[in-house]
Structure 1
Amino acid sequence: MTMDSLVAGSLSTADYVVFAVMLVLSASIGLYYTWVSSGQRSSEEFLTGGRKMTALPISMSLTASFISSITLMSTPPEVYHYGAIVGLFCVAYILTVVVTSEVFLPVFYRLSITSVYEYLELRFNKATRLMGTVLFMVQTILFTGIIIYGPALALNQVTDMDLWSGIISAGTVCTLYCTLGGLKAVVWTDVFQVGVMLAGYMSVIIKCVILKGGILPIILDAQQGGRLNFWDFDINPLRRYTFWTIVIGGAVGWIAVYGTNQAQVQRYVSCKTITHARVLLGLCFFMVCSVFAGMSLYSFYKNCDPWTAGLVSASDQLMPYLVVDIMTSTPGLPGLFFAAVYSGSLSTMSSIVNALAAVTLEDLIKPYTNMSEKQLSWASKGLSFLFGMLCISMAGLASVMGGMMQTGVTIFGVTGGPLFGVFTLGILCPFANSKGALSGLISGLIVSLSVCIGAQIYPSPPAMTQPLSLTTKGCNFTTADSLNWTATALPTQPSTTTVTVQNSNGIHLLTDDLYFPSYIYFSVIGALIAFTVGLMVSLCTGKEVDLRLILNKEDTTSYHVFKFLKCRVGATRREERFDSVTPTFCDIEMDSAKSRRNNHFIV
């Protein structure tokens, strides 16, 4: 490795053209839906697409908005440092899809609500709804700053792309099509951006495979470096990544996002049927690609870690560094990858802007005004523009935050976990009341926030996080101006010795005894506290509950599958005994069950 490698790579004209084409096409989709939807006369049509969307675009939009730039930029470095165990998030995702489609989606879709926090008022009271709305707004605005600023900074550090030019141009385009086209523009732009993300990601992976002579050498390097560590069943909650940490913590965190977050639920209720809303595809494939990209990173830099050597200042810069290192010889390919990264930012930002406009209009404006539908439609567009500008400005605050993946999961965990606990309480517990919900939400937020702050003050040492070994022994700086660094091998196994470490801000650990659980568990802690406290408080009193507001067994797919199989088996047995069937046997029982849903449950 020469000193030339330390200089930020220069992008070619073709790279900038590819990036510009992505922005122009994204804006064009918004303009197109402005033209075809010129007859939009209601805020509901602007915010939910008239509830006529189908499964494929909604599924791809959900995938695009959730992947974001965090998956593209931060997941491969996590694999690089901690191993392919990160890929177990696929298991958590499968659990998320099942629970979301069976528990939360049926209730929200049946109520035809635009703001998911409207449910909190219907089920509990207005105070709970307003608190949920405020938490969502704080959560999403902070998160948007990370997904806009993080990729721009990483690319600025390893290329000659101007930092704020990239932020402002991408943010302005996103605000434009969100404001003009509404949810339809957001969804169909996401479909286009998923294609860009896939093309950019696959171009890097294919290039790595070609340079390494196939997939097998990359896998063998990962195995020799201890990166194929899928089956770590340590139950210690302080460990950063184990099977239980990822599957349990990841599932709860993602259910909180997919099941109760406004940006996701808003897409479900925009589908024309609940069957379309239940189709969720795509994220596992991107997760597999991210894991392989992380193994490719290790294969290339197993003998000279760029981060330890000081060639990059943060782990989020490793993927851009790899792209500049191996792809600049092919003009246009680096630009495709960077377009993919910004597509991830745009898709998530557009979802958040649309969701913020929806909750502000439905929760903070409609209940307190008597505006006409035309005025509400204009208000929704104005809110989209306002929140777009606010999200761009929040990129400045993100400059003081840490790594994108951990920061993003932490923000959603601290605020989303307690909200998830309260939604679960309302949907599954008929006797839950407003006092229990509000006290549970406040308690969960206080506890999860305290744990988060404590984890920042007392970060876990390598003995708990267990980063895998990296080395700089293979680095060969051929200039006298070589960097001043010390090669350090990090521990690969838990150690009983006292480890003194120093974080990126130069703050030493204050104690060897006080540790906090993995950041993935923050959402679990908040949800458990909110649900438990809410349950105990609610048990002290009772109230009448509209059965439309809780989950009924008839809402779930599993119930209908079970009934179908039961009826088929019963019909076969009766046919064998009497050579006849009673086709209305199951229908009578199901009609009776449906009639019970119109009654009230009294505790």
Structure 2
Amino acid sequence: MTPAAVIATLTGYIALLFVVAWISGRRTDNAGFFTANRRTPWYLAAFAMVGAAMSGVTFISVPGSVAADSFSYMQMVAGFTVGQLIVAYLLVPTFYRLRLVSLYEYLDDRFGARTHAAGAWCFFVAKMLGAALQVYVVCTVMQLLVFDRYGLPFWLNAAVTMALVWLYTRQGGVRSLIRTDILKTCCLIASLVLSILFITRALGLSFGEMAREVAASPHSRILFLDDPASDRYFWKMFVAGIVTLVAMTGLGQDMMQRNMSCPTPRDAQKNILLTAVCQIFVIFLFLVLGVLLYLYVDHAGLTLPEKSDQVFPLVAADGGLPAVVGVLFLVGLLSSTYSAAGGSLTALTTSFTVDILKAPQRHDDNALTRIRRRVHAAMAAGMALVILAFGYGADDSSINLVFRVVSYTYGPILGMFLFGFFTRRQVRDRWMPLVAVAAPVLSALLQWGVREVWDYRIGFELLVYNAAFTITGMLLLMKRHEK
């Protein structure tokens, strides 16, 4: 795929994205930016959420991961489905009843200002790192396909990418995101399905033969029940899937801003349940694509890249397939990454403005608009800097790296909300920032200790231990004679 073709595809997609964002974001006020005025029909939100749940990391890393992890990711997807039920029937009614703009306002109401700040800062760190990693994935591909060929540095790549994300989310916020997520879902699913069809044709297989090849592949194993010490063990991944979904979606400002843009909690629940069903099929198709990619690498005699994340770009752009496959790959990657980055940037802006600066309580609407726009620009600049840091330090499969980041940073948030929902006790609020720092540190020490002493590997379920340390800390800080 030539740099000119990449630039033409990027320009065309960005132009379409900006048109959709401009049309949907006109005359958007602060309520429209933060909550889309809670007027999104549930079926539109559901279709948008299918794409919103997928990032550039999903698009590249999930297919590439099948060589090392087979279809074990489906064990987490099963947990995701249970987690969606928890979000729909436990969290959504509470958040709607309290009419929250930021989820972390709940912590202020339940425990106090220090707990509120601790939860908001945990989200800030988690989302800044996770979103930057997602954008870093697309930046590495663009560096390979365009910037390196023109001798342009990686920092310029990151700056241009984040400038475009900032521009298209600057005015409309969540209101624009819902419409651009619909565009993303269309592009993502079309790219995925058509890529599978073109690769199947290039392998000379019919649909039935393709299904048999995938089923017979050693990479298509789903269940891992034989080794509890393995980080792919079913129950570890299943439980991790539940808590990860609750933490990342149910307690993640970016995803819940979309869900809570619906008029009523019942509408939001319909949206979440439909999204859960669709997510199963879409992720399964990504894994099928992964098997086909490795079959094609063998068929075409290609040399496997060092990183599994580079397998899909290699086959799509330089694997000898029709040029349309490269275009489809790029459209899917761009749509997934720009939407995920836009959602994260909007959520970071919302949480920082509402939770940390507490601007809505201190300023009128005009001043709030000015503050929100400055924070939005600052978040974009900060994310660009973190992307640069990943450019020098990322050495793992991106999907694994994302969940490692989540396990450390979302654990305290999950623990705080669980304690708040399932007890009526109060805690000594002023010490909660210490708990939020201590829990990830203890989790890291536990992960290292059990590996060194018992050769037992804690995988994605580290989030559970992290939340447990947070809850233990809150129990120690509990006010004994207050309810």
TM-score (norm. length: structure 2): 0.89
For each residue in 1:163-182, what CA deviation from the matched residue of structure 2 results, as whole angstroms up to 9, or x when unmatched? 56654443222111211222
Structure 1 residue aligned with 2:342, among 343, 347, 350?
Answer: 350
1:198 aligns with 2:198: no
Greater alpha carbon shift after TM alignment, 207-216 vs 118-127: 207-216
Residue equivalent to 1:283: 279
Q: Distance in 2 between matches of 1:384 and 1:62?
A: 22
Deviations 1:345-376 (A, max 9, x none): 11111111111111111122236973211110
**Shift of residue 256, structure 1, vs aligned partner:** 0.7
Residue in 1 that maps onto 2:351: 359
Q: Select the residue among 455, 459, 462 that pairs with 1:522.
A: 462
Q: Are positions 1:231 and 2:223 aligned together?
A: yes
Instruction: Judge conservation of contact 2:80–2:244 (CA < 8 Å) in 1.
Output: no
Within a 5 Å distance, the mapping from 1:354-503 to structure 2 comes to 354-366=346-358, 370-399=362-391, 400-402=393-395, 403-434=397-428, 441-451=436-446, 454=448
Report which structure shows greater RCO (CA 8 Å, sep ≥6).
Answer: 2
Could you say which structure has the higher helix fraction?
2
Three-state SS of the structure 1 residue aligned to 2:132 is: helix
Q: Does the 8 Å CA contact 1:12/1:331 hold for their aligned counterparts?
A: no
**Bigger shift: residues 360-369 or 266-275:** 360-369
Q: 1:518/1:78 Cα in 2 relative to 1: closer, same or farther (>3 Å)?
A: farther
Once the two structures are superposed, the pairs formed by residues 204-219 of structure 1 within 5 Å of their partners are 204-212=195-203, 213-219=205-211
Write out per-residue CA displacement over residues 81-107 of structure 1, whole angstroms, 9 at most, x where no aligned residue.
Answer: 221222223311210111111111111
- Checking the alignment, whether the CA contact within 8 Å between 2:217 and 2:291 is kept in structure 1 is no
1:434 CA drift (Å): 4.2
Q: Is the Cα contact below 8 Å between 2:317 and 2:325 reproduced in 1?
A: no
Residue equivalent to 2:165: 174
Q: Which of 20, 28, 52 does residue 65 from structure 1 map onto?
A: 52
Deviation at 1:192, TM superposition (A): 0.6
CA distance in 1, matches of 2:445, 2:142: 34
Residue 298 of structure 1 is matched in structure 2 by 294
Query: What's the offset of the Cα at 1:122?
Result: 0.5
Identity %: 17
In angstroms, what is the RMSD of aligned CA positions? 2.7
- Structure 1 partner of 2:90: 103
Provide the residue aligned with 2:480 in structure 1: 541
Structure 1 residue 133 and structure 2 residue 72: aligned?
no
Going from structure 1 to structure 2, the CA distance change for 1:139 and 1:47 (only over 3 Å counts) comes to same
Task: Measure, in 2, the Cα distance between the counterparts of 1:344 and 1:354.
Answer: 16
Question: Which consecutive unaligned segments of at least 5 residues does structure 2 have?
Answer: none
Q: 1:30 to 1:127 in 2, by over 3 A?
A: same
Say if 1:240 and 1:519, in contact at 8 Å, map to a contact too. yes
Aligned length: 470
Q: CA deviation at 1:13?
A: 4.4
Partner of 1:56: 43
Distance change (3 Å), C-alpha of 1:161 and 1:420: farther
Q: Secondary structure at the match of 1:394?
A: helix
- 1:390 Cα deviation from its structure 2 partner: 2.1
Cα 1:84–1:217 change in 2 (3 A) is: farther
> Contact 2:158–2:388 at 8 Å: present in 1 too?
no
Distance 1:25 1:203, change over 3 A: same
Q: CA separation of 1:158/1:269 partners in 2, compared to 1, >3 Å: closer, same or farther?
A: closer
331 and 168 in structure 1: CA distance in 2 versus 1, 3 angstrom threshold: farther
Deviation at 1:120, TM superposition (A): 0.6
**Would the aligned equivalents of 1:208 and 1:296 in 2 still touch at CA under 8 Å?**
yes
Q: Name structure 1 gaps, 5 residues minimum.
A: 1-9, 461-510, 545-603
1:178–1:354 Cα contact (<8 Å) kept: yes
Equivalent of 2:251, from 260, 267, 271? 260
Per-residue deviation, 1:199: 1.6
Per-residue Cα deviation, 1:314-370 (whole angstroms, up to 9, x for no partner) = 1110111121244x5533431221121122111111111111111111122236973
Check the 8 A contact 1:26/1:177 in 2, yes or no: yes
Counterparts in 2 of 1:313-332, with a 5 A limit?
313-326=306-319, 329-332=321-324
Indicate which of 88, 96, 103 corresponds to 2:75: 88
CA distance in structure 2 between the partners assigned to 1:535 and 1:370 by the alignment: 33
Conserved? CA contact 2:315–2:321, under 8 Å: no
Is residue 176 of structure 2 the alignment partner of residue 189 of structure 1? no
Aligned to 2:34: 47
Distance 1:229 1:46 in 2: 44
Offset, 1:274? 0.6
8 Å Cα contact 1:12/1:332 also seen in 2: no
Secondary structure, in 3 states, of the residue corresponding to 2:480? coil
Q: Counterpart of 1:97 in structure 2: which amino acid?
A: Q
* Structure 1 residue 418 displacement after superposition: 2.1
Is 1:122 aligned to residue 109 of structure 2? yes
Pick which of 526-535 and 213-222 moved more: 213-222
Equivalent pair of 2:62/2:290 in contact (CA under 8 Å):
yes
Counterpart code for 1:109: Y
Pairs within 5 Å for 1:502-521: 513=453, 515=455, 517-521=457-461
Computing the radius of gyration from Cα coordinates, the structure with the larger value is 1
Checking the alignment, whether the CA contact within 8 Å between 2:104 and 2:116 is kept in structure 1 is: yes
> Shift of the alpha carbon at 1:217?
3.8
Partners of 1:197 and 1:343 within 8 A in 2: yes
Q: Structure 1 stretch 198-207 or stretch 433-442: which is displaced more? A: 433-442
Q: Given that residues 353 and 387 in structure 1 are in contact (C-alpha distance below 8 angstroms), is that contact kept between their aligned partners in structure 2?
A: yes
**In 2, Cα distance between the equivalents of 1:365 and 1:79?**
43
Task: Indicate conservation of the 8 Å contact 2:439/2:466, yes or no.
Answer: yes
Seen in structure 2, the aligned counterparts of structure 1 residues 47 and 420 have a Cα distance that, compared at 3 Å, is: same
8 Å contact kept, 1:448–1:522: yes
Cα deviation for residue 271 of structure 1 reads: 1.8
Structure 2 distance, partners of 1:302, 1:222, is 14
* Whole-angstrom distance in 2 between the partners of 1:443 and 1:420: 14
Matched-pair contact (CA < 8 Å) for 2:442–2:469: yes
TM-score, normalisation: structure 1: 0.72
The amino acid of 1:104's aligned partner reads L
Helix, strand or coil for the counterpart of 1:520? coil
Closer, same or farther: CA 283–305 of 1 in aligned 2, 3 Å: farther
1:143 matched to 2:130? The reply is yes
Structure 1 residue corresponding to 2:333, chosen from 327, 335, 341: 341
